[in-house]
Chains A and B, each alone.
Chain A
């Protein structure tokens, strides 16, 4: 007999639980764990931003804002995006959301009809697939490979396209691989996208965290603006994860559709957090750039360290993750992560939680102190050496 709860939405019931949960529970019970599993900056939000928020509260900015977000914040966002060669009308083409997370959800819900196919290069951030499924789409995963620097190739995209293909989700710089797509890479993708008349949701939340080169947005490539929603936010670049401010930028018809969902489900992003975001965008560039430089140094440190240990690590050119190949150990990603945690007290995230092609890799966040990174590397070295004496199989 069916109980009441068996009648909960099958789409929701069939969503896979997050693969991270188990490791979180394990790690939380242990002492002296060094976590390379954290997906957020290790900086506290710069003081001037926190202070601006307190001032806004003193001023009594505790009301709703317009659905779209504070007009002056939309203006700052539009101004900011010009640095990537993007021009958006702040009054019609920008939407302030509750984190980039909400923008991803809205964009997919605005674009997808049941049965449409959403193309998602993997390994990638974990929210696209559930959001697409919740919107009624069928998800088509496009594997990317270490040999290609985990970039999506036009070939792979072309081969996956069917008459039902509707949306391509891009996440570059990529979580978890740190992969970046250059202009030429994106141009090749853009050709395919235009030919098959697809939409693109481009999650560029790590755009500022691009090392040794400028971030390129696919929306800046000719013919792409009209079909692309750029998703970004304050979380990573300005160390503002807890404030929950993100945004979407795109052509008016898509943003208006997203705004409709947003106004009925969210109303508006939190007012005081929007005030803080305004301060960050107006006066936060220097501090942001200092944080980026600090990540870059730690990036080089961890990549060199992992390679020396014998865990080959391609150069992550963006975000704050290294994605070493752990196949030389003979362990699966889950085995590696679990044993490393239990035996050496270092938490990493198994690559397969970001999609099947992540198997054989683990994600190591380097948004942690130099001392802890070095200690984690020492422990990982001991772990790998110990495996070499007691080989698996």
Chain B
């Protein structure tokens, strides 16, 4: 399957996962069959991992806090950071884990019901893991933009309805 096409499909679906294969096919000048099989392939190869909505949770009546935690660890022989990262990302509370360059090693995002719950997770589960040498917990106060989406976007239709 050609890489340029796969890239275009991912680009479109990343922007809007609700696009049907028929629509994508028309937009890219391909047949729906080609698009459907390309998407199947992308799914099988775990290039497309999931289709999900970007939700502004602040607008819903949910109790939820998010913390971004800088974690320093001792890399281990043979497995480097991967083994410890694996141990961390298995926790359900952990929403994302990334290896970083700079002042710390792993950036871990944790979601809990309240500050106490998150703090307990950090002090009891995360900080106590072997090879974790330090943690710094930052609570997220407000999301303005995430994955390219501006949360409070006021960019509505401002154009005149009909113009030459």
Contacts and interface: CB of A to CB of B under 8 A. Distances in A.
Q: Tell me whether A and B are bound partners.
A: yes
Nearest to A22: B162
A38 B164 contact: no
B131 to A, nearest CB: 42
Interface range on chain B (Cβ under 8 Å from partner): 10 to 19
A37 interface: yes
Interface stretch (B19-27, B35-43, B71-79, B94-102): B19-27
A304 to B, nearest CB: 4
B159 interface: yes
Interface in A346-367: 347, 349, 353
B162 A370 contact: no
A209 to B, nearest CB: 16
B26 A304 contact: yes
B31 to A, nearest CB: 11
Interface string A4-33: 000000000000001010011001100001
B62 interface: no
Given A40-B159, A42-B159, A370 B27 contact: yes
Secondary structure dominating the interface of A: mixed
How many A residues are at the interface, by size bracket? 20 to 34
B29 interface: yes
Interface of chain B, helix or strand or loop or mixed? Answer: loop
Interface string A286-313: 0000000000011011001100000000
A40 B26 CA distance: 23
Given A44-B155, A370-B16, A370-B19, A37 B161 contact: yes
B26 A301 contact: yes
A214 interface: no
A24 B162 CA distance: 6
Interface of B: 12, 16, 19, 23, 26-29, 155, 159-164
Interface of A: 18, 20, 23-24, 27-28, 33, 35, 37-40, 42, 44, 125-127, 175, 297-298, 300-301, 304-305, 347, 349, 353, 370, 374
